[in-house]
Each structure stands twice: as structure tokens, then as C-alpha cells.
Amino acid sequence: MSSMVADPAMLAGVAGVALIVVAVMVALFVVLRPRYADIPLSRRRLFPGKARTSVISRLSGATVAAVERHVSHRTTGPFGRDALSGAGIKTPPADFVLLVLAASFFLGLAGLVVQGLAVALLFAVLSPVGALAFIKIKTGRRRAAFEEQLSDMLMSLSGSLRAGHSITQSMHSASVEMPPPMSEELARIVNEDRVGRDTSESMAEVGRRLQCEDFEWLSQAIEINREVGGDLAGVLDHVAETVRERAQIKGQVRALAAEGKFSAYILIALPFFVAAFINLSNPGYMAVLLQPGLGWILIGAGVVMMAIGSFWISKMVKIEF
């Protein structure tokens, strides 16, 4: 009879895997579901009066609407429109926040079933931390690609201006020819110009959002040329030359600072690897640190000192010019 009773650990593992699968399905539903944000639902139906909605649809719609009321009006913040737009994520902020909350809830529930409250809290924190890291990595890569494409874009604008096109037409041509992310940002500037927004203002906003000083200088140069007149194509040639020289200097600085950054990564990760190795090879030796009292005090002091050292090293290897 006892052989027919399932092992509790096995049941917990199966339940945890099932919850993770459910979380992945919810994430795919939020990310991949079709979006008609610009067209109301009543206008997309052939017979608006005869439309029927299920309980799940009403519940999901109410949840998204509640999250959207708190997120839609915020452009800044870790999951705001500017952060997602800078990372090239086209998911609306409300859907993205809902996705992070759902993943955090299901991961925390899986940790609670598998191990306990401590693991549940750790798993729940993994979702927002992972989302922030994902946005930061995507933003960094997008900014680097944008800066690399800037000089080629300036040469394209200069050639179009010499051919007799306006600055807006030149940007439209460059948006068709250039790869992302430059094409996406130029298309956004052109679309905003068509609805009446000033081109220099749109360019300055792109520079601030992507933290690209060169693009902000470009917007200022175009604005000054508009006020005083002159050869804008020649101005863009000089700006392109300056951007190329700055890119070369940035590459040299990045190469010189690479060794320091690698050393910082090694120094930060080394204590964790040493602690994990000692815990696996000699658990009794590490058990003293894991006990309440002096062990926790030493661990807390070590974490604080590592945080201070990491901040100090990051400031040393981060060179601004």
C-alpha cells in the first residue's frame, strides 16, 4: 500500500513544473495576442450590439485596464514608455507590467510549493529583476547600434539635401535606407513632423531618450541653421566628421577600459564562486556562517563591503568624456 503513495517531493516537483508551464502560457498570451489599441473594439465588430464576451475576456480586460490606468500616464520609470521605447520593445507598458506581475506570481507560487516561503520570495523577485536586466541590456545594445549608424545617416542626409530635398524628405529617405534602430527613430521623427510637431524638438527628444549627445547636437545644429540660414549639407558634413572622430576615441577608451571591467567582474563574482565551492566540498565549514547570530552579521558585513567595492570599481572603470 505504501508503494502506491506518491512521494511528496515528486508531487511538489510536478506541481512546480506545471505552474511554470502555466506562467509561460500566460506570458505568451500577453505578448503574442493581437493588438488593436488604435481602433476601438466596437468599430471592429460587424454587429456591435450582438457582441458577446466571455468571463475570461472581461476579467483580462478589466485587469489590463486597471494596470493601464496606473501606467499609461507615466513616461518615465523602469517600465515606462520611454524605457520600453528606448529598448525597442513594442509591447505596451500595461501589458509588459502585467506580464512581469504574472511571471512573478507564478514563479513565487512555484517556489512556495517546491521549497518554502524563502524560496518563494526569491523566485518572485527574479521576474522584475530579470525584466529590468533585459531592458537594460536591450537599451545598451540599441544605443550602441544607433551611435554606430549615426555617421552613415548624416552622410545620407547630406547627399539628399544636395540633391534638393528638404530635411524631412531626407530623413524619410534615410529611414527607408538605414537599418534599425536608426530607421525606426527617423520614421518616428517624420511621422511626428507630419502631425505638426517641430522636427528639432522631435530629434532632441530622441537624443534624450537614447542618451546620445551627438544626436542632440545635430538637432541644435539644424535649429541654428534654420534661424540663421546657410549650407545645411556642409554643416552636416562637419558634424559627421566630428561624430566619426568621437567614435574613434570612444573605441580607444573602451579598449583601454575593457581590462579593468573584466577584472571588476572577476573580483565581484569570485566570493560567490568560492562560497559555493566550499559549501559543496565542506558543508560543515560553511554551516557556521549560515547560523543566526554572528554568522549572519558577518554575511551582512561582507555584502555591504562588496557593494561599496563594486560601486567604487564601477566608477573607476567608467570613463566619461
| pLDDT, average across residues 86-106 | 86
Q: What pLDDT is stored for residue 77 in this prediction?
A: 72
Query: Is a pLDDT exceeding 50 seen at residue 2?
Result: no
Band (316; pLDDT cuts 50, 70, 90): confident
- SS3 assignment for 140-206: HHHHHHHHHHHHHHHHHHHHHHHCCCCHHHHHHHHHHHCCCCHHHHHHHHHHHHHCCCCHHHHHHHH
**How does pLDDT run across 25-61, given as a tens digit for each residue?**
555 555 545 454 444 445 545 545 455 555 556 666 6
Query: Is a pLDDT exceeding 60 seen at residue 252?
Result: yes
Q: What pLDDT is stored for residue 27 in this prediction?
A: 56
Average pLDDT, the chain: 80
Q: What pLDDT is stored for residue 61 in this prediction?
A: 65
**How does pLDDT run across 152-171, given as a tens digit for each residue?**
999 999 999 999 999 999 99
Q: What pLDDT is stored for residue 154 in this prediction?
A: 93
Band (257; pLDDT cuts 50, 70, 90): confident
Q: What pLDDT is stored for residue 157 in this prediction?
A: 93
Q: What pLDDT is stored for residue 134 in this prediction?
A: 93
Query: Is a pLDDT exceeding 70 seen at residue 17?
Result: no
Spans of all domains in the chain: 142-244, 248-317
CATH of domain 142-244: 1.20.81
pTM for the structure as a whole: 0.68
**How does pLDDT run across 190-227, given as a tens digit for each residue?**
999 999 999 989 999 999 889 888 899 899 989 998 88
* Positive/negative CA dihedral, 103, 106, 109, 110: negative
**How does pLDDT run across 278-296, given as a tens digit for each residue?**
888 888 887 877 777 888 8
